[in-house]
Amino acid sequence: MALYEYSAFDAQGRKQRGVIEALSQKAASRKLRDQGLFPTALATARNTVGTAQRTLFRRVSAVQLGIATRQLATMLTAGMPLDEALMMVAEQQTQGSLGSVLTRVRDDVLQGSALYLALQAHPKIFPPLYTNMVQVGEASGTLDKVLLQLADFTDEQARFNSQLKAALTYPLLMFLVGSGVLLFLMTFVVPKITRMLEDLEQALPLPTLLLMSLSHFLATYWWLLSIICIGSLWAAQRFSLTARGRFWFDQKKYRLPLFGSLALQNATARFARTTATLLHSGVPLLTTLEIVQNLLGNNYLQRALEGVREKVTEGAGLSEPLQDAGVFPAMLSQMAAVGERSGELEGMLYKVAEIYEHQVQTRLNGLMALLEPLMILVMGTVVGFIVLAILLPIFQASQGMG
């Protein structure tokens, strides 16, 4: 099937534009008329069929999805029919593939499909959390309210992830640039200077000898070091593809010094917020746990949640299985127990998410504030050692000449 861009008028005389999929141009025109649209222009989409199909399944940023969801919720709240709201939101998407995808979703809805089923046809853009909440909203007649919750959730996750990436970008960039500068000095600059020092024909101090030995080793065996590094990364990558290796890496991730507990708090905040959002929208607890289990993306946590879900299936609440799993911080199970007793489980989980999100942000800012001067100190120490090792024999030679 091919994609066709069209301009058309609806029964009320309003102009509509979008993309439709059909076997031929005639079939596309007939399909539009069946939908109550009268095409005035119909042409093959600018991309080839294969490229267009790939574009439709390209991921969409969380920010763009959150904005589109909020727009759709606002239009539905104002009383606009779903198909018209979908078309208006699709027309406002000027970047990426979301506009084309929403047009296809609208076509499916006009043909009688439920909205959540039309969204499930694009799993790379609309995750299970999204489609399940939409399904609950359609069943309960509160689709506009559910979409607003989804927009808030998506915006909050995007904001938090953006802050996390921004905090890590500068130290990582500084480390890469510093490492590159040191490698350049040790393999290209220092060997030329040390050859000049050898011509002085005098006993060289220990720092200079150490620097010469290290520089000679790097310049001579850089290829061997490269092979070892690449081979180690390849072996680690192959091991991570196995079930045992994936579990081992996912488990060790939360046991790293400094950053391990930070990663666990981040995962806890994500689990709590996602679970609270789904429960608040009316999704059953078992279905919620299944969705969250797949969204966490960590084999170690997924295995723990599998045990939690089995106990909930047997009739237990949420707090005791979480405590027995021994993976998440104790506050999560304690707050869940308070929420179960008071009937405010979603509210307690929201509070847990807010607490850990704040803790992660605060600790991350503190670590970055500590890490930046520490990296400067290390780099300064290494560069100072190189300068000292070069200048010492020069000073000795000048004193000998004096």
User: In the prediction, which pLDDT does 231 show?
Assistant: 93
User: In the prediction, which pLDDT does 23 show?
Assistant: 62
CA separation (Å) from 50 to 1, 11, 126, 364?
Answer: 10, 33, 21, 43
User: In the prediction, which pLDDT does 87 show?
Assistant: 87
Contact status, residue 291 vs residue 352, Cβ threshold 8 Å: no
Q: Which ranges of 35-184 does DSSP label H, i.e. alpha helix?
A: 49-56, 62-77, 82-91, 98-110, 115-120, 128-140, 143-184
What is the CATH class of 128-402? mainly alpha
- Pull the structure tokens for residue 94: 């000027």
Burial 77-112 (b: 16+ CB within 10 A, else e): eeebebbbbbbbbbeebeebbbbbbbbbbbbbbbee
User: In the prediction, which pLDDT does 228 show?
Assistant: 93
Q: Which DSSP state fits 112?
A: T
User: In the prediction, which pLDDT does 348 show?
Assistant: 93
State the Cα–Cα distance between residues 66 and 72, nearest whole angstrom: 10
CA separation (Å) from 202 to 190, 208, 222, 345, 397?
Answer: 18, 12, 29, 78, 8
CATH topology of domain 62-126: Receptor-associated Protein (1.20.81)
pLDDT along the chain (402 residues), means of 10: 72 76 72 79 58 48 86 90 88 78 87 87 84 81 84 80 74 81 79 74 80 82 88 90 87 83 87 86 85 80 90 90 90 92 91 89 81 83 85 76 54
Does domain 1-56 fall under CATH 3.10.20? My reply is yes
Q: Is residue 288 within a helix (H) or strand (E), and if so which, with residue range?
A: helix 285-295
What pTM does this model have?
Answer: 0.64
Q: What are the structural domain ranges in the chain? A: 1-56, 62-126, 128-402
User: In the prediction, which pLDDT does 200 show?
Assistant: 66
User: In the prediction, which pLDDT does 56 show?
Assistant: 43
- Pull the structure tokens for residue 10: 């609806």
User: In the prediction, which pLDDT does 338 show?
Assistant: 93
Q: Do domains 1-56 and 128-402 have the same CATH topology?
A: no
